Amino acid sequence: MVPSDSKIQFDHQGRLRHFLTINGLPKETLVQILDTAESFISFGQREIRKVPLLRGKTVVNLFFEPSTRTRTTFEIAAKRLSADVINLSAARMSTSKGESILDTARTLEAMHTDLFVVRDSASGASHLIASHLPEHVRVINAGDGRHAHPTQAMLDMFTIRREKGGFEGLKVAIIGDVLHSRVARSQIHALSTLGVDEIRLIGPRTLIPTEVEAMGVNVTSNMAEGLSGIDVVMMLRLQRERMDGQLVPSEQEYFNRYGLTDDKLSYANPDAIVMHPGPINRGLEIASSVADGDRSVILSQVTNGIAVRMSIMAKLMGGQEDP
């Protein structure tokens, strides 16, 4: 089971040390992260994009599960903060020599590295490292099993706030494979904390876990009903390996029922935005015309992801002033 890790995220003075899960973080912490990210957004358009905030610091991308895309966003964010970045495909490291995750992390910490960005296919890997390494080390969860992907959720929140001006009164739909999605769990926590009006989960019953209904969301498997009155449509990525006929019918049937097309999108509010954490499966969970259409903010999410990750890194490493 996944530990309740909200407490470990703060030091004894109440400052954010790690970023492992959104579950349990106060609203003001989330808002601070979004506010700081705002200052890094304009920054991305400047001629020179370096700030020396993390100069001389070493960021380790410790990816036990491969993800070139997510790793690249953290690498770019860290380099724009002037950090040195070490990329470790830890899968190879651990399997070839049989070292445990903790021994690997302890060894890297002994090299005076400062910040670990951890991805693992098992839930709790970043929590394990955060709870066993010395005080001064910082850990960011870049996705662990089905548990959490909090930086993804934060960039989604940032994108919503930029597009919609805030969270109050918003109706948000999360569509697809909630069961296997760490992204969805983190999104639900963030949306709840930031105070949207309603969260609806839409997908086949086999892909909506019963426990989430306890999180104060509404659930439906009907797209027309679910999208009605929605301001923000958050698509989830469907793993093709789920397509074995057990949980999901054929690709074609899934697309017919749950794939986001212009037709289905018309049930939502006229100014609804469409989001997706990427990479998208065109013609599976989303039609190309929607993904590339004028209501899609998918590429803005990517851009925002750099600013939000810079903000989180800066907060963990240097945010001594704010409580």
Dihedral sign for Cα 32, 29, 210, 181, please.
positive
Residue numbers 57-86 binding a copy of itself by CB under 8 A? 57-58, 66, 68-69, 72-73, 75-76, 79-80, 84, 86
Q: Which is nearer to a copy of itself, 44 or 209 (CB)?
A: 44
Listed ranges 6-14, 22-30, 87-95, 259-267: which one lies at the site for a copy of itself (CB under 8 A): 87-95
Residue numbers 184-243 binding a copy of itself by CB under 8 A? 240
Q: How many residues bind a copy of itself (CB under 8 A)?
A: 54
48 touches a copy of itself by CB under 8 A? yes
106 touches a copy of itself by CB under 8 A? yes
CB distance 155 to 304 below 8 Å: yes
Q: Which is nearer to a copy of itself, 47 or 211 (CB)?
A: 47
Residues 280-299 as x/- pattern, contact with a copy of itself by CB under 8 A? xxx----------------x
1 touches a copy of itself by CB under 8 A? no
Q: Which is nearer to a copy of itself, 175 or 286 (CB)?
A: 286
Helices (DSSP H) in the chain: which residue ranges? 27-45, 68-80, 90-97, 101-110, 125-132, 150-164, 182-194, 223-227, 251-258, 262-265, 288-291, 298-318
244 touches a copy of itself by CB under 8 A? no
CB distance 230 to 173 below 8 Å: yes
279 touches a copy of itself by CB under 8 A? yes
Q: How far is the CB of 30 from a copy of itself (least distance, A)?
A: 23
Member of 4, 100, 250, 289 binding a copy of itself (CB under 8 A) = 100
Determine the distance from the C-alpha atom of residue 68 to the mean position of all C-alpha atoms in its chain, rounded to a whole number: 15
97 touches a copy of itself by CB under 8 A? yes
Residue with tokens 């490493």: 317
Determine the distance from the C-alpha atom of residue 21 to the mean position of all C-alpha atoms in its chain, rounded to a whole number: 10
Phi, psi at 220, each rounded to 5°: -150, 155
| Residue closest to 131 by CA, chosen among 25, 30, 20, 14 | 20
How far apart, in Å, are the Cα atoms of 111 and each of 57, 94, 137, 218, 297? 11, 18, 12, 48, 40
The single-letter DSSP state of residue 260 is B
Residues that bind a copy of itself (CB under 8 A): 44-50, 55-58, 66, 68-69, 72-73, 75-76, 79-80, 84, 86, 88-90, 92-93, 96-100, 103-104, 106-113, 240, 278-282, 299-300, 302-303, 305-306
